Amino acid sequence: MLRPWQISLGERLDPARATPIYMQIIQALIRDIESGRLVSGTFLPSSRELAAILGVNRKTVVLAYEDLIAQGWLVSAGTRGTMVSTSLPESTRADAPLPEGCAVEADYEFLAPPVRPLAIPAGSALKLDEGAPDGRLFPAAILTRAYRTAINRASRENRLQYRDPRGSPKLREAIATMLKVQRGLPVTAENICITRGSQNGIFLASQVLVRPGDAVIVEHLTYEPAVAAFRARGAKIIPVRLDGDGIDVEAVETAARRHAVRAVFLTPHHQFPTTVALRPERRLRLLDLSRQFGFALIEDDYDHEFHFETQPLLPMAAYAPRQVIYVGSLSKLLLPTLRIGYLVAPPPVVDAVAHYVSLTDGMGNTLTEDTAAELIANGELRRHARKVHQIYAERRETFARELDRAFGGRVHYRMPDGGLAFWLRFDDDLDRIEERISAAGLSFASSRSFMTSNEAERGLRVGFASLDAKEARAAIEALRTAAFG
């Protein structure tokens, strides 16, 4: 019996791959059918013949044929043999089969990410992060014990099920108490929705606030992933000026008179990336504008605990809960890998946010959230906060000394009152400096990733908290060498 199909499977089978041989045969046959090399009604070699051609056990081919028949790709024609199903449509594809591991392009339209890079260091090179904590400082044994307690308690209480998209009740209660006692927010658990970090909280806030075409005001230097979240909702981004006292509220008023502003995003405690704090008089003026023009304030308080000079200012949400959606995180205080943040707002807003959580995240992570609640309840979080606050204060001083030693007057900075990073400004051409830093293998966030306006002052945000004294010296020396030789 003629078999017009030219056998090419042997070129694709690789015993060294983790995929079983019979599955490789199935995949290869489906690719040939889908690409048009095998058309409907084509007879295949018998299982014995194909096994001999491929140098495999006949049972392997039989298993592949049986699976393809069950799926509907092939049909058994009795004594005539096995052929490609005649019910399959003719393929319009003319693509050659792709080699294993080859990159595949999409045949459909999709929304590509923005050309401008997000402000996230990547790669395996030495990383100059933007203010990450040192995960080595949190004892693994304490975290393990808290997880064990949370798992056992959830099992006893039958809470290993689907649950409230607003998050673990235990953690919501714990965070509400923490915010009320330590930051003065007038909240209960009903005001709290647990998120997968502060960025997730910002994204969720954008979902309930912003419609396509709405204007969102941001500072002309800001946190780029937040801007990307607003743009993904179709927002019109309005950048306004920033100075040593924070966002320019007169520029905010001007923008609000010209545009239908739905929200203002800002980081008033330690402005990202410059680290400056928003002055009290500007905070109050901004709240007046919020009431006047009806926009919401999204207050990202990503590292509230780390203030090294005077007492930190209260969050704006503490005295204006009706105007503010407050976003915070335990990532800087505990571990970034735990991915625990929270959004604080009036209960109807929290319910609206929870709806979007249910669409994208389902139910969160009860065990991790209960573990965090256990660490708050047993005092471990407060003990850890006191310990790392002292360590990071010392590292801030060390980092400043190393900057002065390595750069002298060739880099400018203002000692940050709080936060976990420095904002560095250079007299030299920053484009050239960044090119040399990249060429030297250092990973860092580009100065342009912070900019929403070409008029914004450029600089590099470099974290110090994740580096001990030896690592800080090495990182700064590498930065100096890469920048200036």
Return averaged pLDDT per consecutive 10 residues of the chain, 485 residues in all: 57 80 89 83 90 90 93 89 87 53 70 62 69 92 93 88 88 94 93 94 96 97 95 96 95 96 96 94 96 97 86 88 95 87 96 93 83 92 93 95 91 92 92 88 88 93 94 91 84
Looking at this protein, which amino acid is placed at residue 3? Answer: R
Q: Are 406 and 394 in contact (CB under 8 A)?
A: no
Tell me which residue has tokens 């704090």: 277
**CATH 3.90.1150.10, the chain: domain bounds:** 127-132+383-484
- Phi and psi at residue 357, to the nearest 5°: -60, -45
Q: Are 449 and 116 in contact (CB under 8 A)?
A: yes
**CATH 3.40.640.10, the chain: domain bounds:** 139-378
CATH homologous superfamily for 127-132+383-484? Aspartate Aminotransferase, domain 1 (3.90.1150.10)
Instruction: Record the tokens describing residue 110, joined without a space.
Output: 């999709």
**What's the CA angle centered on 132, arms 438 and 440, to 5 degrees?**
15
State residue 2's pLDDT score: 46
Instruction: Record the tokens describing residue 410, joined without a space.
Output: 């060739």
Q: Are 211 and 262 in contact (CB under 8 A)?
A: yes
State residue 11's pLDDT score: 63
**CATH 1.10.10.10, the chain: domain bounds:** 9-84
Instruction: For domain 139-378, say whether CATH 3.40.640.10 is its number.
Output: yes
Instruction: Record the tokens describing residue 223, joined without a space.
Output: 């946190």
Cβ contacts of 427 within 8 Å, gap of 6 or more: 410, 412
Say which CATH topology domain 9-84 has: Arc Repressor Mutant, subunit A (1.10.10)
* Cα 164 to Cα 89, 307, 328, distances in angstroms: 46, 34, 20
